[in-house]
Amino acid sequence: MLALLQYEFMRNALLAALLASIACGIIGVYVVVKRIVFISGGIAHAAFGGIGLGYLLGIEPLLGVVPFSIGAALSMGIVGRRTRIPEDTAIGILWAIGMALGVVFIGLTPGYAPDLFGYLFGSILAVPASDLVLMLIMNAAIIVTVITLYREFQAISFDEEYATAMGLPTERLYLLLLCLIALTVVLLIRVVGVILVIALLTIPAALSKRFTHRLSTMMALSVLLCALFTTGGLWLSYILDLASGATIVLFSGCAFLITTVLFQHQ
Amino acid sequence: MTTMPPENGEIVRLEDVWLHFDGVPVLEAIYLSIQQHDFLGIIGPNGGGKSTLLKVILGLLEPTRGEVTVFGHTPEQGRRYVGYVPQFSLFDRDFPISVWDVVLMGRMGHSKRFSRYSDEDKRCAENALETVEMLKFRNTRIGTLSGGQQQRVFIARALVTEPRLLLLDEPMTSVDSPMQTELYELFESLRAHMAIVMVSHDISAISIYVDTVACLNRKLYYHGTKELLTEDLEAAYQCPVELIAHGVPHRVLKEHE
């Protein structure tokens, strides 16, 4: 493994995996305990529209994804809360619209079509150094927000109605949490791609939930597990010569299945 | 900042309160007055609007029409003096949170925003857990406790703000019988410090400890006494009701074909 580090693309890939793990471990805990896996999956898929937008505008695709996925997250949250449309219906509709927009935007882009496979299923071996800076900034934003609003997010995750009764601005907090999920999705796109994002948002957090009943401990554990899965999956993909994103997801999935079976027999 | 409410007299007043969901009336022309140290039981069939009424008092639901006053203020301002124990089924037993953190959460509306819990918050949480005799479980995950113990923790969460009015929504659901008696005794001891409103679909659960009983099925049948009028019960439940001897649990029996 150490020999691999002489390659710059490998060093970047490892750094990207570790950076993504921080945000993913922390935000994944909220996704799992607040049971908002479906909306997170919706945000991740809709984010594909942002990649198309980035190509169409001729900017760095990840920069197109940030506003687009935040927009998708806010639309799903607001439509689900304030209109008569049920939230899961809104998610389903926006999920597909986001992806469709991505395809149309890319079709409208002059020149030949870019390689979409990397955005759909991850391209961690092709992370440029500029992306690492963007990932660092987004991580910082996520960590600062979660530290500042730790109690508030805990309250709306555990019992949103009670939090409202205590005078918390629960809807705004929920929408902010969705925006943090959107940022995390952007961080994870390079690692596993929009389609596989949901695995890394759920598996490490769901596993860590078995070992603790404190949200903060769960976050720390989940970050560690996420780092383990992404780097371990990356290494496995290298020695087995398989697609990195898919290997990371399958590695996490196996770990989850094995622990589930082990815990069932205890 | 709101001023402290008066020590005596009326604390909650509902005047001609109506509430519609999608045009369907859920509450109709409700008049209600709650005094300091009252222990009011509200009974009625499921779907009769009992939880809705509590949420109107808390300001979680806005009435379509009518006026609600809580400690002389709007419900939003007045609810800092109100403790609330919501219906039991609403919580995820798998949630990773300790008893201590659940109770502290009750302080959030009172302590400073965006900061850690203060020493006063912690002292209040300790007192509240002491009151419900659950302090020794402070580090336990709440989902592992029995139904009655969980209910005590939620009562502590409501008491942690030292409220002047306690709203209990079906507090005896998933609490076994011996524990129910203990809970009633707890409410009895709390009455020295606050008024209590308790909602239940079970008449027998409510009759012994409360001062006054109201029946709610869209309309509120209420005379400010503990005596239940057969006409009121029948109007509320829309079925023949048999009241068996005063002082022992009443029963509602549906007439057989």
In a domain, B246, yes or no: no
In a domain, B198, yes or no: yes
Q: Are residues B97 and A159, on separate chains, in Cβ contact within 8 Å?
A: no
Q: Pseudo-torsion of CA A234, A212, A217, A202, nearest 10°?
A: 40
In a domain, B143, yes or no: yes
Q: How many Cα atoms within 13 Å fall on the side-chain side of residue A87?
A: 16
In a domain, B243, yes or no: no
Q: Pseudo-torsion of CA A131, A132, A136, A141, nearest 10°?
A: 20
User: What rounded mean pLDDT belongs to chain A?
Assistant: 92
Q: Which domain holds residue A128?
A: 2-264
B241 min Cα distance to partner chain A (Å): 35
Q: Which domain holds residue B95?
A: 10-237
Contact B103, B111 (CB under 8 A): no
B208 min Cα distance to partner chain A (Å): 29
Top residue of B89, B107, B113 to mutate, by most chain A CBs within 10 Å, is B113
C-alpha B60/C-alpha A166 separation (Å) is 10
Number of domains chain A is built from: 1
pLDDT of amino acid B168? 94
**Structure confidence by residue, pLDDT tens digits, A100-139:** 999 999 999 888 777 788 889 988 888 888 889 999 999 9
Which element (helix H / strand E) includes A144? helix A129-148
ipTM field? 0.84
Tokens 């009326």 sit on residue:
B10
When pLDDT is averaged across residues A151-180 and rounded to a whole number, the result is 92
pLDDT of amino acid B232? 67
Q: Are residues B60 and A164, on separate chains, in Cβ contact within 8 Å?
A: yes
**Structure confidence by residue, pLDDT tens digits, A51-102:** 999 999 988 888 889 999 999 999 999 999 999 999 999 999 999 999 999 9
B142 min Cα distance to partner chain A (Å): 9
> Which residue of B lies nearest to A167 if distances are taken between CA atoms?
B109
Facing residue for A162 by CB, picked from B80, B86, B98: B86
In a domain, B149, yes or no: yes
In a domain, B4, yes or no: no
CA-wise closest residue to B150 among B91, B194, B104, B202: B91
**CB < 8 Å to A168, chain B:** 108-109
Facing residue for B109 by CB, picked from A148, A159, A166: A166
> How large is the angle between the packed helices A197-208 and A215-240, nearest 10 degrees?
130
Size of interface A-B (CB pairs under 8 A): 66
**CB < 8 Å to A159, chain B:** 86, 90-91, 105
pLDDT tens, residue order, chain B (257 aa): 445 555 568 899 999 999 998 889 999 999 999 998 889 999 888 888 999 999 999 999 999 999 999 999 999 889 889 999 988 766 788 899 999 999 999 998 776 666 778 899 999 999 999 999 999 999 999 999 988 899 999 999 999 999 999 999 988 887 888 888 888 889 989 988 999 999 987 766 666 778 888 888 888 887 666 666 666 666 666 655 554 444 444 444 444 43
Domain harbouring A162, CATH code = 1.10.3470.10
> CA B150: distance to chain centroid?
16
In a domain, B245, yes or no: no
> Which residue of A lies nearest to B89 if distances are taken between CA atoms?
A159
Both structure tokens of B43: 């009974």
C-alpha B250/C-alpha B176 separation (Å) is 19
CA-wise closest residue to A187 among A139, A255, A221: A139
A86 min Cα distance to partner chain B (Å): 15
Domain harbouring B137, CATH code = 3.40.50.300
